[in-house]
Amino acid sequence: MRMPRSGFDSTAPRRRTLLAASAASAFLPLAATGTAWGAPDADDAYDTLLARAAAQLTGGAFDAADPDFAAALKVLDTQASGWWRQLDRSAGRTALWADLSPAKDPGNFGQSYTRLRTIATAWATPGTSLSDSAEVADAVLDALRFLHTEAYRPDRPETGNWWFWEIGAPRALMDTCVLLRDRLPAADLTAYVSTIAKFCPDPDRRTNAPTLSETGANRADKAVIVALRGLIARDAATLALARDGLSDVRDKGKNSLFTYVTSGDGFYEDGSFVQHGSVAYTGTYGSVLLGSAGQLIALLADSEWAVTDPKTSVLYDAVDRTFSPVLYDGLMMDALRGRAISREKAPDHQDGAVTVTNILQLASGAPAAYAERWRALAKGWIRRNTTTPYLRLVGIPALARAKAVLDDDAVPATDRLTGHFAFADMDRVVHRRPGWALTLSLSSKRIAAYEAGNGENLHGWYTGDGMTYLYDGEDLGQFGDGFWATVDPYRLPGTTVDTRQRTDIGSGGGTGTYRPKNAVAGGTVLDGRYGAAAMELIADGSTLRAKKSWFFLDNAVVALGAEITAGDGRTIETVVENRNLHAGGTPRLTVDGRRRPSHPGWSAPLPDANWAHLEGTGGYVFPESPGSPAGDGQDGPRLHALREDRTGTWRAINTGADTGGSTTPVTRRYLTLWLDHGASPTSSSYAYVLLPGASAAATAAWARSRPVHVVANDATAQAVEARRSGLLAAHFWQPGSAAGITASGPCTVLVRRDDDGVSLAVADPGRTGATVRLELPFPVREVIRADDTVAVTPGRRPVVTVRVDGSRGHAHTAALR
């Protein structure tokens, strides 16, 4: 098991607290500092890079009269001066802060260094109440000595969470040393460098487990720490070690951050990012990797230690391939944030802001073609999010880069990304339309359903069981406004669940993941526009089994479930929607043209509903399912609706040492729609259609005209036909026929026929087959284009043979006529 990261940031001062602010006068230069080592030599490479490292922390020169900078400066000053007032400077102290006692505890000394870094940053930033104060500088230096004596020194063995010893504390300590470098006595400097050399000697290995190679974000973080140690110690070999750590020179590139992986941690060619072996972690660990690697590239640029690995293009390409699809108007999609969803101080907009910041930082040293595109992307993200404005979330360094982009008329603001993205290597699907996006979180024996540990993500039981996240451009606070503290964790949208009571997960030390036993999870994408996905549900701690599929169209998402079976005597539910209406929302719910009550506490069965519409969200249609029970003595699932105010606390889902939530009650209102399959169902099924952004009238018209037909929903196949767009979409669980397509074995198929010909996409999300043979229901004369894994025999009943073995669930495509 891997242990957790502290918060969501271990680069620069904590991004969620070091925001900055407080007006001062006109233009303010970088803080001038006294010198304990003699005046810096402008031609000295170490001094040049140390000044650059300090500027990365403070932001360099800025106009304090600018309202945005003034606000950021005030935030920094408020946070730092608060820690300063609470700092225990007494001779007999046992801790620096009363709430971080005893200081010897790893979580406590780790957070103590972080607070000292915040104070040091305010000291080094002109315009704060602590700026250039000799009293503050001396107190911070004394506090560093206290921590070295009492808590963090080379002769202490690692205990508790390794992260505090090897990443959290050394990073904050090195940053503080950079800021106070001209006041640090040589003896102190030597002591701190020796300590960090003990616990973070190189980026390559875990110090408390030397046989474990560092990967992904942890490697990137350690590379920055080693580089700062090299600068402080003026050691060329250590700087080279840091640079080479990014490329894993030691192990001949095996764990290079600039190499695509096919298993385990790192970037995948399909845009996936995995950390901790099996967790989809683009939104936190991936972002940290991007930030730390980008920071080190910028720090060492134009020096003898510059990063020159030609494969840095992997990192650059990740912005478009990995991060852009999962950023929605500057929000980081929760399906990619792992256990961080339970962190009160790190909601989706905060982690999104961190990622945007890291992208703009990387742009500062990237080739022009990349940088121009990223700045345009960032401008669009920042401008569109007026709910949680980026400029209020970030500190002075990030603010300076963002304002330069926003003020540059030559930089266009890119529109919202549209398209369908199937991340086969991390069991995630993202479908993006102009006004909305839907993310699907799956899991399998390869990718974890959840990660929990060290008190984090205590109720994450069903987040990987087919949860659907609907993002609406008009409601950017859906998941960031108290959602995880208040939502019913047994009723997450898209999931089929056994209603058994669950206990907290991850409350003990260390982190762990749960990977279910199913093989099938994933799907395919056609023309970058349409998608299909499936997951075999093998529930944890229950006999519940289900076959679930989703079909992603231009303006709709069709969800099908079949073979829903359980034998534990408990009720099984499929959750259609559980919408956060915020503190007191009363959007209109209309069912089959009739308005339903809007007061909290209303609940009703809706067994004969054909359609429903939630004002401000969209429509829901409930077509008949070909797989509905017939002759087995059971009725089909019954729709229910509920409006309720739910109260919870962040502490109930996160008790982490440095990420634990508050006990303050939070109340949010919800509208829930769910299908009740009854107790211990046998071969139950469901079918519903999401129409995001649709009006009530459009939803009613859709329900009447049924432009998409459910043509199969059983143990053999789940399939739909969208005749207007000429699309057939199916997932085959076994050999059989559906929608006119015959398949020789399990696979996901999308076929579209129009005046220009036929386009085809096939995948094997279960990764169990070698080849799949398909017969199509219409004639094909010739092959226009086909992947080398696809063979086509034209004719009146054409045959397509796809070699799926070894393709890891990715799509195989062809264009026919």
pLDDT per position as a tens digit, 572-582: 999 999 999 99
Give the whole-angstrom CA distance, residue 463 versus residue 444: 13
Using an 8 Å Cβ cutoff, are 416 and 432 in contact?
A: yes
DSSP string computed for 567-609? -SSSEEEEEEEEEEEETT----EEETTEEEP-STT-EEE-TT-
Taking phi over 0 as left and psi of -120 to 50 as alpha, with beta for the rest, 446 belongs to alpha
Look at residue 631 and tell me whether its pLDDT is greater than 90: no
Task: Give the pLDDT score at 633.
Answer: 36
Please, what is the average pLDDT of the chain? 93
| Residue in this structure with the two tokens 């679930």, named with its chain if needed | 548
Rounded to 10 degrees, the C-alpha dihedral 306/307/309/315 comes to -150
- pLDDT-based confidence at residue 14 (cuts at 50, 70, 90): very low
285 a catalytic residue? yes
Q: List 439's β-bridge partners, or say none.
A: 430, 469
Whether a cis peptide bond, with omega within 30° of 0, leads into 605 is: no
Q: Which of 113, 285, 316, 471 is the catalytic position?
A: 285
Give the whole-angstrom CA distance, residue 62 versus residue 43: 25
Task: Give the pLDDT score at 719.
Answer: 98
- pLDDT-based confidence at residue 2 (cuts at 50, 70, 90): very low
Task: Give the pLDDT score at 626.
Answer: 80
Task: Give the pLDDT score at 213.
Answer: 96
Q: Which of 161, 268, 276, 620 is the catalytic position?
A: 276
Tens of pLDDT, residue by residue over 450-508, are 999 999 999 999 999 999 999 999 999 999 999 999 999 999 999 999 999 999 999 98
Tens of pLDDT, residue by residue over 733-748, are 999 999 999 999 999 9
Percent of the chain's residues with pLDDT above 90: 93
CA 563 to chain centre: 32
Taking phi over 0 as left and psi of -120 to 50 as alpha, with beta for the rest, 652 belongs to alpha
Q: List 641's β-bridge partners, or say none.
A: 604, 673
Lowest-confidence range among 61-65, 618-622, 801-805? 61-65
- pLDDT-based confidence at residue 23 (cuts at 50, 70, 90): very low
Give 593's DSSP letter. T
Look at residue 32 and tell me whether its pLDDT is greater than 60: no
Task: Give the pLDDT score at 18.
Answer: 28
- For residues 196-219, give the mean pLDDT: 97
Look at residue 518 and tell me whether its pLDDT is greater than 80: yes
Task: Give the pLDDT score at 636.
Answer: 80
- For residues 729-735, give the mean pLDDT: 98
- For residues 85-111, give the mean pLDDT: 97
Residue 446's identity, in one-letter code, is R
Give 456's DSSP letter. B
Closest alpha carbon to 175 in 130, 133, 218, 120: 120
- For residues 764-773, give the mean pLDDT: 97
- pLDDT-based confidence at residue 627 (cuts at 50, 70, 90): low
Tens of pLDDT, residue by residue over 659-700, are 999 999 999 999 999 999 999 999 999 999 999 999 999 999
Tens of pLDDT, residue by residue over 157-182, are 999 999 999 999 999 999 999 999 99
Maximum C-alpha span of the chain: 91
Task: Give the pLDDT score at 508.
Answer: 86
Look at residue 29 and tell me whether its pLDDT is greater than 80: no
Look at residue 756 and tell me whether its pLDDT is greater than 70: yes
Using an 8 Å Cβ cutoff, are 354 and 386 in contact?
A: no
Q: List 558's β-bridge partners, or say none.
A: 551, 689
- For residues 793-817, give the mean pLDDT: 97
Task: Give the pLDDT score at 37.
Answer: 42
CA atoms 331, 332, 333, 339: torsion sign: negative
Q: How far is CA 10 from CA 142, 151, 171, 741, 810, in A?
A: 23, 20, 7, 52, 34
Lowest-confidence range among 16-20, 274-278, 322-326, 508-512? 16-20
Task: Give the pLDDT score at 624.
Answer: 87
Task: Give the pLDDT score at 38.
Answer: 42
Look at residue 11 and tell me whether its pLDDT is greater than 50: no
- For residues 641-658, give the mean pLDDT: 97
Task: Give the pLDDT score at 628.
Answer: 60
Using an 8 Å Cβ cutoff, are 7 and 343 in contact?
A: yes
Give the whole-angstrom CA distance, residue 544 versus residue 808: 27
SS3 463: coil
First to last CA, the chain: 52
Q: List 538's β-bridge partners, or say none.
A: 545
Rounded to 10 degrees, the C-alpha dihedral 206/207/208/210 comes to 70
What is the number of other CB atoms lying within 10 angstroms of the CB of residue 612? 26
Q: How far is CA 119 from CA 73, 85, 113, 122, 658, in A?
A: 13, 10, 10, 5, 18
518 a catalytic residue? no
218 a catalytic residue? yes
Task: Give the pLDDT score at 19.
Answer: 26
- For residues 235-244, give the mean pLDDT: 98
Angle at 214 between CA 213 and CA 220, to 5 degrees: 155
Task: Give the pLDDT score at 152.
Answer: 98
Q: Which of 108, 161, 218, 555 is the catalytic position?
A: 218
Task: Give the pLDDT score at 354.
Answer: 98
